[in-house]
Amino acid sequence: MRLQLGPPGLFEPPEETEVLVRRYQCQRCDAITVVAPADVLARLRYRGRAVVMALAYLAEGRASPWIREQVSPQRVLGHEGRRAWRSPARWAERARALWPIRAGPDDGDPRSRARAAVRSLQSRAPSSTGQLLADAIAGALLGGPRL
């Protein structure tokens, strides 16, 4: 089981859930393969859709406490947590490691990196709905190097 944080769907309230993650070991070479739902990202407690939502909100220029309120189910925060949330900027920096995308220049600010990542994920959507956030989430759930 693995803990997952974030909204289960687009514009739903964030929650804390557990998902089943299975590990399989190759009998020939002892390699281990991890199998998890598409929404699970490597070394992150947040769902993939929660990260995409946070990146989209960061690209819009939303304040980090507002982003946290939309994405995180955790309501008890320390002094620093009420003032700022650094995770969306970190996720913007790691976007290319989280998904197989080209997320723009390395020297951009977090907002421009987030914008580039969301647009790259949107372009991966199987069919366009015309809604940036919905298409970006669909593109993120397609797969790639997650675990």
In a domain, 146, yes or no: no
Residue 50 structural domain: 2-140
Chain-wide mean pLDDT for the chain? Answer: 89
Predicted pLDDT of residue 105:
64
CB 99 within 8 Å of CB 121? yes
In a domain, 53, yes or no: yes
Express each pLDDT in 79-121 by its tens digit. Answer: 666 678 999 999 999 998 898 887 566 668 999 999 999 999 9
Query: Which residue, 48, 43, 14, is CA-closest to 136?
Result: 48
In a domain, 145, yes or no: no
Express each pLDDT in 7-31 by its tens digit. Answer: 999 889 999 999 999 999 999 999 9
What distances in angstroms separate CA 77 from CA 2, 49, 62, 90, 125, one per listed residue? 23, 22, 19, 19, 35
Tokens of 62: 């939303």
Predicted pLDDT of residue 147:
43
In a domain, 87, yes or no: yes
- How many structural domains does the chain have? 1
In a domain, 136, yes or no: yes
Predicted pLDDT of residue 143:
60
pTM: 0.88
Q: Which residue type does 79 have?
A: H
